[in-house]
Amino acid sequence: MVESIWEVFQKLAVRGRPLAAAVLFVAGGCQSRTVASPASYPETVSHGRAHFGRDVAVPSSCNAMVNRGLAELIASGTRQDVDNVMVCGVAAERTRFQRPGRYGPHHLTTINAPLPDGETVRVQVVTNDDLDGVVTANAGDPVFAYGQAYLAHGYWVAGVHDVHCSTHASADNGWIVVAGVKRPEDCPAR
């Protein structure tokens, strides 16, 4: 019986060999983004798939340096999603509901995020109701988020989604904090 690269990757990762799994996954030609220090990630298993999720602390306060990764993403002009980006700011308006699509219902919170160059930009933070629960903010609420960032267009300069426990190998555990309340509260460990 010939196993697919993905099946071998899952077995290696579940058996506590995440570095070997990551090497095999990348060498096997699978589409993957940067896998930073996979051997140091705690392992989680979700929906029968092996995932790695490192917990990252929420900063004690929001300042432009928290948004350094966001500023680098904007300056790069990349069209690829980038894992493990932190943003913070103040909700510009009340959270909006997005009609359910392929991945279920979502909520969108627009924040004004300060950048290290002194500029303030609008960023959309998207939560998945099925994975995060319903997360809403009122205008003026402080918001922190950690997840997968992307460049946007129009009203927003960028966005962050996947603010939930890791669902793919290159991502840390994401989160969102609105007015001091963190979602998810924690993610499964080994």
pLDDT of amino acid 143: 98
Is the same domain home to 84 and 159?
A: yes
pLDDT of amino acid 169: 84
Is the same domain home to 43 and 73?
A: no
What is the CATH number for 134? 2.40.50
Inside any domain, residue 31: yes
Inside any domain, residue 140: yes
Q: What residue numbers bound the domain in which 152 lies?
A: 64-183
Is the same domain home to 34 and 89?
A: no
Inside any domain, residue 190: no
- Residue 81, phi then psi, degrees to nearest 5: -70, 145
Is the same domain home to 40 and 114?
A: no
Is the same domain home to 82 and 147?
A: yes
Inside any domain, residue 28: yes
Comparing CA positions, the residue from 21, 3, 1 lying closest to residue 169 is 21
Is the same domain home to 71 and 162?
A: yes
Counted domains in the chain: 2
pLDDT of amino acid 36: 30
> Going residue by residue through the chain (190 aa), what tens digit of pLDDT does each one get?
344 444 434 444 433 334 333 333 333 333 333 333 333 233 333 343 445 588 999 999 999 999 999 999 999 999 999 999 999 999 999 999 988 778 889 999 999 999 999 999 999 999 999 988 899 999 999 999 999 999 998 899 999 999 999 888 889 999 999 999 999 988 886 4
pLDDT of amino acid 44: 36
Is the same domain home to 71 and 122?
A: yes
Query: What's the distance, CA 6 to chain centroid?
Result: 22
Inside any domain, residue 58: no
Q: Does the model's pTM come out above 0.85?
A: no
pLDDT of amino acid 103: 82
Is the same domain home to 68 and 47?
A: no
